[in-house]
């Protein structure tokens, strides 16, 4: 009887320890991640087709906010006032440009890759991105590799490993787009831009 009681007691202790361990793990699991706006940006490269030949032009969008929930769903809102070149426009045109509203880039990343990355370690994973303006059954999905580096327990640095090709033709078809691009000195921008993302994620929860 004593041996049986001791055995049952050991089982009870083991079960209690496992339960406590699972509880701690559940509590430690992040509920999501949020971009640090002042440490996140988009570097954009476009081709301007000129009579004298093609010219590469660069601009930057910052600060960038956005979230990744516990399931790995990405949502990044973008607006024209985040572009550094907008500051070169007259205030009246700037206000008109900002009325175009906010666009969202959505996507997905494996959340386990983020939560299991050890401090001071790096890894490369794949992120899927899409424009939610497209119908879910026909939207185009872009797959791109990103490098992740755990800076500390709460911060992860994320950088696209190579530029992502983005279709900007809807922006160029807006009513005020020709006037704005001409004022900025562009002649005929290509419909596609090369975009590189640099950001810092902070653990939430």
pLDDT in tens, 173-198: 777 778 888 888 899 999 999 999 99
The residues pairing with 105 across neighbouring beta strands, listed in sequence order, are 76
Q: CA 86 → CA 80, 185, 192, distances in Å?
A: 7, 12, 19
pTM here is 0.79
* Residue 55 near residue 189 (C-beta atoms within 8 A): no
pLDDT in tens, 121-144: 999 999 998 877 765 555 678 899
């Amino acid at each position: 009887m004593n041996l049986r009681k001791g055995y049952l007691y050991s089982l009870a202790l083991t079960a209690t320890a496992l339960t406590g361990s699972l509880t701690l793990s559940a509590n430690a699991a992040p509920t999501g991640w949020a971009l640090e706006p002042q440490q996140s940006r988009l570097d954009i490269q476009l081709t301007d087709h000129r009579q004298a030949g093609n010219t590469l032009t660069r601009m930057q969008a910052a600060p960038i906010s956005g979230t990744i929930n516990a399931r790995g769903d990405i949502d990044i809102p973008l607006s024209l006032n985040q572009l550094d070149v907008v500051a070169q426009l007259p205030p009246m045109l700037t206000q008109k440009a900002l009325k175009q509203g906010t666009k969202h880039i959505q996507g997905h990343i494996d959340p386990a890759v983020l939560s299991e990355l050890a401090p001071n370690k790096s890894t490369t994973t794949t992120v899927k991105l899409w424009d939610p303006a497209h119908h879910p059954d026909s939207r185009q999905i872009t797959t791109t590799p990103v490098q992740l580096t755990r800076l500390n327990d709460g911060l992860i640095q994320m950088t696209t490993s190579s530029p992502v090709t983005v279709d900007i033709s809807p922006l160029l078809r807006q009513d005020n787009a020709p006037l704005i691009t001409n004022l900025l000195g562009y002649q005929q921008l290509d419909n596609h831009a090369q975009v590189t993302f640099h950001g810092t994620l902070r653990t939430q929860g």
